[in-house]
Amino acid sequence: MTTLTTPAPAVGDGTSPLRVFLFSLQDYGLREIVSGKTNFIGFANYLEVFGNSTLWTVVLPNTVGFAVLSVAGTVIFGTLVALLMASLGTFWRTIVGSAIMVAWAMPAVTGTYIWTWIFDADNGIVNQALMGAGLMDDPYNWFTNRFTFYGIVLINIIHHGFPFVAITILAGLLGVSKEMLEAAALDGAGAVRRFFQIIFPTMKSVFAVVIILSTIWDFKVFAQVYLMPGGAGSNRDVLNLGVWSYVESFGQNRYGFGSALAVLLTAVLLVITVFYVRAMFKEEKL
């Protein structure tokens, strides 16, 4: 164990990735912040992370499973909206585009509170509608169950993220050769076949961009989880990497352990991004 004297991080001071990594190698808490001393413990925080059952049974399944579903849902729904907009005239395309941009412009905090209110156990619209239809006798708390909790987060993320995908895909669709699409239609190719044989191959780079960006955004989802009932750590079954890192850092004052979680999240994102980019480049060479 090595003890060094370094300036304590100032409140509001920007924290670089290198500094976060250095924190992850320390037993860094309030005592170290006050004293200005560092307490290097090597990779002990990482060993604790990988030896913690919470990582394997709760955090990683929540983080990875949710990211896969949210990226797929956002890209598919955004693509369908883009195809719809491409089939409209200029006037209605502008109207629809302006309408969906409202969802994108809505702050994540505001959107999360709205969906929380919609699914509220006591006065939520969903519970009231289900009880009014005779499908439920008593109100149901959607936030206590791990799967219904993330189902609400999934709706929130897709609602907030699909406009970016739709507008980006629409820009690419407008550049696809209409002559090729018309010729394929004359040859008897249906809409699904035209999409996978003409549109998708032509727009691979566009889809790569939206998938990579959506993956990065959805892997590090924080506010949409943290602000929902139980998401701030009181319900340990709904923790993801971002929230777990925050709870350990600022809730337990274990900044070194929290930094190790942040580094792990960054590493996962880098691996996914590099893997996908390399796969896209290989397909282009073929």
In this structure, what token pair is assigned to residue 121?
């156990």
Determine the Cα–Cα distance for residues 181 and 178; give it in Å rounded to an integer.
Answer: 5
Q: What is the pLDDT of residue 27?
A: 87
Rounded to an integer, the average pLDDT of 229-244 is 93
The model carries a pTM of 0.86
Rounded percentage of the chain residues whose pLDDT exceeds 70? 92
Rounded to an integer, the average pLDDT of 217-244 is 92
- pLDDT higher than threshold 90 for residue 147: yes
Domain residue extents for the chain: 2-42, 55-239+269-285
Cα-based distances in Å from 186 to 76, 178, 194, 236, 279: 26, 12, 11, 57, 33
Determine the Cα–Cα distance for residues 68 and 65; give it in Å rounded to an integer.
Answer: 5
Q: What is the pLDDT of residue 15?
A: 59
- pLDDT higher than threshold 60 for residue 9: no
CATH 3.40.50.2300 given to domain 55-239+269-285? no
Determine the Cα–Cα distance for residues 138 and 46; give it in Å rounded to an integer.
Answer: 45
- The confidence band for 282, taking pLDDT boundaries of 50, 70 and 90, is low
**For 37-79, what is each residue's pLDDT tens digit?**
878 898 999 999 999 999 999 999 999 999 999 999 999 999 9
Q: Contact, 236 vs 58, CB < 8 A? A: yes
Q: What is the pLDDT of residue 90?
A: 86
Lowest mean pLDDT among 16-20, 73-77, 126-130, 275-279: 275-279
**For 167-212, what is each residue's pLDDT tens digit?**
999 999 988 888 888 888 888 888 888 899 889 988 988 898 898 8
Cα-based distances in Å from 221 to 70, 114, 183: 10, 17, 43
